Amino acid sequence: MKVLVTGVKGQLGFDVVNELTERGIEAVGVDIDQMDITDAASVDKVIKEAGPDAVIHCAAYTAVDAAQENEESCRRVNAEGTQNIANVCKELDIKMLYISTDYVFSGEGERPWEPEDACDPKSVYGQTKYEGELAVKNTLDKYFIVRIAWVFGVNGKNFIKTMLNLAKTHDTIRVVNDQFGSPTYTYDLAKLLADMVQTEKYGVYHATNEGVCSWYEFACEIFRKAKVQVNVIPVSTKEYGAKAPRPHNSRMSKEKLTENGFERLPSWQDALERFLKKIS
């Protein structure tokens, strides 16, 4: 099997290529230098030349606050770029696995979101990722949509690295305590995606590490496990302030993974511990 992976310079794309390669699956990793997903001709040429059996599409515009002021750029990447890839996958009759996000939901309530729940994005980022989902669903039959949240990996910027860096220069750190979700370690997720792409169990899935916490609880656990002394102060989303609305509820139901015979990801605490060892 041969798989083309977009966004190879990002934390997820990087881990997906490594995981596929480790399993002896031929992986072709591309980033904007090799394939600009907003350019339909570039997408057409690169995918056809690679001749893959599947595309795992990790590349995205993920700067949530910046997206509020750069709606056009964000849409070009997340919606139109995804449509460009879907069109070529349809023409070649190959599988497509699209990485989406908890931001497609309203972020309200407390119960975990099910894959089939109605989408109601509240930010430009969420809206454009939802448009990407629709592009995939309306173009293809052979697709997987995998929604993830609170992503961290070795190869990129993420909340854990930000917290550890802040602790070097601050005695006190303010972290929101009214947004709840599950962190996702790209190393663990990559294993699931490599399993999934080899099947025909198409559809929409949620995949985060097991367990739920607030960002504040996540931060406290990071410092505890990293043995870093810092005063963490819980604040509300309103007090913290941000350009783009943030989901208060990013809990995601992973039952569908179990129902389809996929292995769920380990607990976020376990993932955090392994991640900290890897970056130390």
Name the residue among 50, 135, 46 with its Cα closest to residue 86.
135
Active site residues: 125
Tokens for 200?
A: 């025909």
Q: Is the Cβ–Cβ distance between 210 and 280 less than 8 Å?
A: no
Residue 221: phi, psi to the nearest 5?
A: -70, -35
d(CA 189, CA 204): 15
Q: Is the Cβ–Cβ distance between 150 and 94 less than 8 Å?
A: no
Name the residue among 158, 176, 181 with its Cα closest to residue 240.
176
Residue 34: phi, psi to the nearest 5?
A: -90, -35
d(CA 32, CA 57): 12
